[in-house]
Amino acid sequence: MKDSVVQHFKSSGHLDRIFVDGEWVLPAGQDRASVIDPSTEEPVAQIALGNAQDVAAAVDAARRAFATWSVSSPKSRAELLGRVHSLILERAELFAETISLEMGAAIGFARSTQVPVAAEHIRVARDIVGSYAFLTHRGDTAIVREAIGVCALITPWNWPLYQITAKVGPALAAGCTVVLKPSELSPLSALLFAQVMRDAGVPAGVFNLVNGNGPEVGAAMAAHADVDMISITGSTRAGVLVAQAAAPTVKRVAQELGGKSPNVILPDADFARAVATGVAAGMRNVGQSCSAPTRMIVPRERLQEVERLACEAASKFVVGDPRSPQTTHGPVANRAQFNRVQEMIEAGIAEGARLIHGGPGRPQGLERGFYVRPTIFSGVDSQMRIAQEEIFGPVLSIIAYDSVDAAVQIANDTIYGLGAHVQGQDLAAARAVAARIRSGQVHINNPAWDGHAPFGGYKRSGNGREYGLEGFQEYLETKAILGYGQEETA
């Protein structure tokens, strides 16, 4: 599996290229970056990195293409997205194996989740543009929704394809043209996606890809005067830097940033189910999800039961080679993240939280690779670092509450507000708690993922929304044409 993926990229000729104006071209930049297999800590490929000159070329191509793409019919845009959707599904196994190689996702998880939900973003965008009313009337005034322009898109390494499609799909559906900068730590799936776009027949300049790092390529995209909007998914620190670079040109900035999501288990919940699913949700994708519910907030009188159930759930995980079908959790994605998770586990111990499962270091029998022991702390105080800072690894904090009001207060006691969970059998009570939590998305009793549900944050989790209708509308401007409906005069 690994060798065949590596060979595919070597034979493609795309590792030393960027995709600009419909062609695979050599970048002006001379820098290279190694792609590291996180299961072995060894390089598997090298990619070419672009620079500010490459960004300028890509933006120029996108600007030229915008003149025609923005006025193309919604039907033609939907048809293109339909072809993109079909090609992703046709190449799903290659995408899954590539994601597993570049960021360590267990192959079963890559196949069942990483790739299918990424394809769904394209399908949702296709369906929305097919029926969206770009012109409506309010008396004699016409309200017109028009593509905002050239969009620069910055995506992260944790859900590499999923975050690309969540931005590219609605942007193209709206009539925008794009320049994409994927994470240089997981760039291979982005190269596959660029080839899908070409094979689907995307017009030259409508989609462009420039690999590169944040300080060089990301900063150039944010500052470029001909970029009308920049959308970033990443850390809060990175989002601040992008907003600062974008400010002088007053472009639209959409940010999906960090999180520290609560999971409030109400006293009437089915604890056996709620705790097990809560642990699974918090540690899905090895905890590398900005909305992962990593704070489990539980009734104090049920704390011992919760601890037992949580440890039982975590003990069923199989941590190991991401290419093994038996593995549920591969390594974290890179060395910096491994070091961060280890630091935060040590911080939890130092602050006096009770370590009830896992702990520092690699799991037994895994001597190399960025593997982390699924770790659970109890007796956590809301002011501890492990309860306040985004860890981005399989580390769960159990926090006890004495009343539902106290549970809501704990849930909101964070600078973030991206996601939240509420568990309870009394739906009216669960809905009431959900309404009081300050976050952009709340899940009641672990519902199925919904690609139409808008996603985004309150507070320092960002601004703007992705997914569904609201995510599509982020890429539109609003124009009012007064007098549009008046009768013509001779």
Active-site residues: which are they?
Answer: 256, 290
Cα distances (angstroms) measured from residue 483 to each of 133, 141, 142, 283: 19, 6, 8, 56
**What's 302's DSSP letter?**
G
Q: How many C-beta atoms surround the C-beta of residue 79 within 10 A?
A: 15
Euclidean distance between CA atoms 99 and 106, whole angstroms? 9
- Could you tell me if 276 and 309 are in contact, meaning their C-beta atoms sit under 8 angstroms apart? yes
Distant-in-sequence, close-in-space partners of 392: CB < 8 Å, separation ≥ 6: 158, 287, 288, 290, 332, 337, 340, 341
Q: Which of 303, 294, 153, 160 is nearest to 230 (CA)?
A: 153
Beta bridge partners of 233: 256
How does DSSP classify residue 218? I
Residues 6+ apart with CB under 8 A from 450: 468
Packed helices 188-200 and 160-174: angle between N→C axes, nearest 10 degrees: 30
Torsion of CA 290, 128, 135, 455, to 10 degrees: -10
Give the end-to-end CA distance of the chain in Å, rounded to a whole number: 73
Tokens 């704990």 identify what position?
Answer: 410
Provide the residue type at 380 as one letter. V
What phi-psi label fits residue 125: left (phi over 0), alpha (psi between -120 and 50 degrees) or beta? alpha
DSSP code, position 453: S
Tell me the one-letter amino acid at 26: L
Q: How many residues does the chain have?
A: 490
Give which of 142, 168, 171 is closest to 155, Cα–Cα.
Answer: 168
CA distance 444 to 435: 11
434: how many CB neighbours lie within 10 A of its CB? 20
Report DSSP state, residue 320.
Answer: S
Report helix, strand or coil for 203: coil
* Strand residue runs (E) in 328-418: 354-357, 375-378, 395-401, 416-417
Q: Is 376 helix (H, G, I), strand (E, B) or coil?
A: strand
Nearest 5°: the CA angle 277, 279, 285 is 100
Query: Which run of H or E residues covers position 441?
Result: strand 441-444
